[in-house]
Homo-oligomer: A and B are copies of this chain.
Amino acid sequence: MSSEERRRAVLCAIVEGYVSTSEPIGSKALAARPGLGVSPATIRNDMAALEEEGLIAQPHTSAGRIPTDKGYRYFVDHLAASSLPGAHRRAISTFLSDAVDLSDVVERSVRLLSQLTRQVAVVQYPSLRESRVRRVELVRAGLDRALVVVVSADARVEQAMVMLGDSPTDDVFERVAREANEAAEGLGSAALERALDEWAARPGQVSWARAVADAVLEGARGGTVERVVFAGTSNLVRADAGLEQDAIAPVLEALEEQVVLIRLLHEMARESDDVAVRIGQETHHEAFAKTAIIAAGYGPGGDGGSLLASLGPTRMDYPGTMAAVRAVARYLTKAVAA
């Protein structure tokens, strides 16, 4: 093994050691490890070089080394894809096999992922592709408001409240409701838009027809809300997790906020078509500065898909977590396709 190779091995050993013990790793402890049969002094030289490169650091003078964000990054980039333990594999298939509907699938997945990784799991609801409208239903919900319900051909139901700005009689309301359905039924995308535009612009049409048409279009597109569900937030506060008390509250806040997280996940999805990893500072968010996020897309490729992720302290089991995220993403893809 060349000295270059050994330096790399030393880095990996430091990462693995620190992740499993959560304590800085010294040269002596490393030398005792089987695998790299060299003396502590040699390892010290390698460590000095690695520190020079900014891959490891020491918390204080007389302590061992811990990986920096950059060190973790190197480790992750030079990682052979590891496989999932058989027990986990079985857990996934049994967990997801008897889900009854979409929200059930999503909820089971997020719980499963949090259990497999012992981290916080995040699953974004699938952003469903545009599809044909099966039926439009208008339900009166007060004098001047109505609920628009769109049932699409691929078995989704979207609803939205619209303000009428007007108090139509029941007769008028019923007629508009019937017409809206007739205009939209069976159509999709461009044809749907044309039909609804025409309908809303008919002479003598009620003033709120445009609002209804927009609601139907939005419903057909799968809604604008990008919902995200979590599980396993308690893993953040586990004593062995390695996040200081002060670092936890901002993370929980950011998770509840959602918007920051969703944008981050989108960025990550764009830059990799397998599993994407952001470590510490790479998240570019103060709240996540001490955490790492491992994300993967699921569902049909292209824009139709959606995202899931695992979030934990930078000191996490990267190979294991990446394998779990990849596996759940794969199963979830199957589950939503069915």
Contact string against B for A residues 154-168, beta-carbon threshold 8 Å, 1 for contact and 0 otherwise: 110101110000000
Segment among A47-55, A237-245, A289-297, A322-330 that sits at the interface with chain B: A237-245
Segment of A68-76, A133-141, A277-285 in the binding face = A133-141
Knowing A237-B237, A237-B249, A237-B252, the reply to whether A141 touches B155 (Cβ < 8 A) is yes
Chain A residues close to B by CB (< 8 Å) = 100-101, 134-135, 137, 139-142, 146-147, 149, 151-155, 157, 159-161, 231-235, 237-239, 245-246, 248-253, 256, 338
* Docked complex Cα distance between A234 and B243 (Å): 14
Given A101-B147, A256-B234, A139–B153 Cβ distance below 8 Å?
yes
Do B139 and A137 touch across chains, with their CB atoms under 8 A apart? no
**Contacts A147-B101, A237-B249 given; does A155 touch B135 at CB 8 Å:** no
**What's the nearest-Cβ distance from chain B to residue A97, in Å?**
13
- Chain copies in the assembled complex: 2
- Alpha-carbon separation in the docked complex, A141 to B160 (Å): 22
Main secondary structure of the interface of A (DSSP, over half): mixed
A233 CB contacts on chain B under 8 angstroms = 233, 252, 256
Residues from chain B with Cβ under 8 Å of A256 in the complex: 231-234
The listed residue (B159, B231, B238, B248) touching A237 by CB distance below 8 A is B248
Return A130 CB to nearest CB of chain B, in Å.
16
Q: Which residues of B contact A239 (CB under 8 A)?
A: 245-246
**A247, closest chain B residue (CB):** B237
| Contact call B250/A161, Cβ cutoff below 8 A | no
- Cα distance A135–B157 when bound, in Å? 13
Cα separation A158 to B245 with both chains bound (whole Å): 42
Residue of B nearest to A161 (CB): B101
> Given A234-B256, A245-B245, list of 10 further CB < 8 A pairs?
A139-B153, A140-B155, A149-B157, A157-B157, A231-B256, A234-B248, A234-B251, A237-B248, A237-B249, A239-B245
Asked if A151 and B134 sit within 8 Å, CB to CB, the answer is no
Is the CB–CB distance between B147 and A149 below 8 Å? no
Across the interface, which residues of B come within 8 angstroms of A249, CB to CB? Answer: 234-235, 237-238
Q: A250 — which chain B residues lie within 8 A by C-beta?
A: 234
Alpha-carbon distance A185/B76, docked complex (angstroms): 58
Q: How far is the CA of A223 from the CA of B125 in the complex (A)?
A: 21
Q: Which 8 A-B pairs have the closest CB atoms?
A: A141-B155, A234-B252, A101-B161, A147-B155, A234-B249, A139-B155, A234-B253, A237-B248
**B155 near A157 (CB under 8 angstroms)?**
no
Most buried by B among A134, A146, A155, A256: A155
Please indicate the chain B residues that have their CB under 8 angstroms from the CB of A338 in the complex. Answer: 142
